[in-house]
Structure 1
């Protein structure tokens, strides 16, 4: 009897199936340091315990996307080990900050299945929840993945496509307990721009670019314990190893500091698409569009809905061609809510 695990294939999933993912992870200041080494992340609330305390938090949490990567990484052996592509996200919510010393684990429920017309693969939708050592849910999200079939003759399951919200409403966002931006220090944060300074429809070119290195990507995938074959095994797909999509998300978010330094906390993920593959040697640039604004009940705290776009070496411009498909140099199209001072 084989003691190794080849991972789940498309025919192994059923609607309502709940998967408890292995290997809980206790996070520490090491994750923060490594995250800031991998990405030019400079948002003050995650860089300084003192700044975080001045905003009403006990100390600086782990970066929101670092917490996302840890929870996501737990799911890979069961959800995307045999994936051809990670296709999208929806209904993501950060419910509690994650602090050094917290232990995170992940659970996923299969909520959708659709076999592709070629009969060789299918799309699996899962709702994943990350919990801490107290059993509190710290974040949740839906993602859908194209997964290979092991047995091409296995019958196609009944098609179930979940009905997902296009965007979260502001009343669905959870503001961290105690957050207070009334005494916010704009000098230490790095920019003077408040919530009221941003207009719906405004486009912000984040100016800077970063060339993706193979070594940094491999360090990132190992850090988050992401074992997907397409990221590690150069022979797993034509065209070489794929850069982990979360690596692109974090790089684009870090680049967005230039123009959105005060968009401190990510609280909602409305949707997202990895539009085209990213490979080592690609230079990532980013721009954002303001989609919506909303007030929150927390003192001095407003919410911005932002569209974050990452491209290969191009500044703001068209996203899709006349055929409705993403242009080949578009890497990421992400729709999220962030909290910033009013």
Structure 2
């Protein structure tokens, strides 16, 4: 039977605790103990935290690489909750290595924690594009605004805010592309000297962002060093093909091909993977007691990461089938996590009173 899911914190800080930007830095990947080349290894999205850790934590993942260089069978080594680790496996899934099938691969991510006054400006801007743990504090915005006078009161107000035609811009599967444009305005409030400051390197988005800024209009007054970002939602990263359930059905199975559930399964897409628009699937085997309880549930396959199997297992363990005289053994369920239609833009809104973008 197949089921498809469609989807359109640290301890409280003490007084005066310093806000920091918590990120993860990927190390060198190895397969069978040999370094493997990569096209791009995505960094996980940053988070806000309090205080600098005495010993930076680390996370290690095992995985395989398919013929195209895509990481699959991503599984974290070790157990237990790790703060701010939710995007590490999805970021690895969105990475690409040198083409060629490889097994027994490993990569370690080490925490990179810096105060807002020491963090790289590009990392601070990246956080504002995906603010996973609340608005960036003023100390971070002060780093971003630079040396121009565009953020000096009275802040220029948009009379016309133009946007790219995002539907014509090719995005990146599993990656939220963004582009930060700097510009000046002349006495009439017309943008001039537009240029790309930083971003994810999507040339089409960079060009469209500069064009959109140039077509915008602001309240009068010459200003320098203005900034504005545009972002495009990740393109969907489809999962690898799903194997047939018959390959996992025990020989002694007496389970019907389709389980009759007492109520629809409580389907939920794993949030970190949904944010990156990465699809997946899991195949779970299980038994059903005569009164309908699900037991002996095991994940027998999951792609592109074990986390899809964990989510599927939680779904089935909380389900109840219709009662039967003898129950069933050797049941198999495929749960597919699929992305529905989504928006694909746009720009960033700043916290109240910041007026940087």
TM-score past 0.5 threshold: no
Q: Output the TM-score relative to the length of structure 2.
A: 0.26
Structure 1 or 2: larger helix share? 1
TM-score normalised according to structure 1 size: 0.27
Between structure 1 and structure 2, the one with the greater Rg is: 2
